[in-house]
Amino acid sequence: MAIAKAQAMKECKDHGSSKYLFHDGMFKAVARQIDRERVKILDISTGNGELALRLAKEFPAARVMGIDASDRLVGEARKRAQRAGLANVQFASSSSTGLKLHKPDVVVSHAAFHHMKNKNKIIGEIYRSLPKNGKLVIADWFKPSKEYVKDVEKLRTIYPNSAGEFDRSWRDFLRDSGLEGVKLPSGYPICPNELSDALKKAGFKKHKVVKLPIADFAVVVGIK
């Protein structure tokens, strides 16, 4: 069932379903990490391009590239960009190891990093591809530690309305996917703070965790 849940999360991303509030919360948290207009953004494992398209629309002076190993999804992303009339976003079939070709200022990832094998190696490759002050922004779901859960509970106390809305959207997703009661995927048994530590070890001079009202989700940021 853990594998099924991971696949369902991937499918939700692949089909661009953003009716769930926790997805929108993650998208907005990623966008807030981009602090200038003229920037080159690379979205790794872009799926059908949902995040790349949102960033291209929000930052019209930016150049956005989405890459994915799936030719089918890249084709779908290109069609979506054409329908949206967005000229500042492109998509290419590529693995995450093709980073040097794109020379990004910011690398982003949404609901995909937990699928990747050898995450430390990929983080290292991203670090080397970025210029000074370049950013890596990972929005994903996690297996939180008890300490991290306590931190999120404090956040939920401060923002009870947002917490309730996030909870409802998460329950809706699980119901719609038929996944109530399943566990997190065993392939990503780490806490956001542990991922932040991995960014530090890779060389990122600054790193932080942006907490969301559900402990299973976070945005982890590294600045070179």
Query: How does pLDDT run across 10-25, given as a tens digit for each residue?
Result: 444 433 445 778 778 8
pLDDT of residue 219: 95
pLDDT band at 185 (very low <50, low <70, confident <90, very high): low
pLDDT of residue 143: 86
Q: Domain of 210: which CATH number?
A: 3.40.50.150
Between CA 13 and CA 177 the distance in angstroms is 13
DSSP 130: S
Between CA 84 and CA 33 the distance in angstroms is 24
Domain boundaries, position 122 = 2-223
pLDDT band at 6 (very low <50, low <70, confident <90, very high): very low
From 110, 85, 108, select the one nearest 10 (Cα to Cα).
110
Domain count, the chain: 1
From 155, 154, 153, 138, select the one nearest 190 (Cα to Cα).
138
pLDDT of residue 55: 96
Between CA 16 and CA 37 the distance in angstroms is 24
pLDDT band at 138 (very low <50, low <70, confident <90, very high): very high
pLDDT of residue 176: 84
Q: What is the mean pLDDT of residues 24-36?
A: 91
Burial letters 181-210, b for 16+ CB under 10 A, else e = ebebbeebeebbbbbbebbeebebeebebb
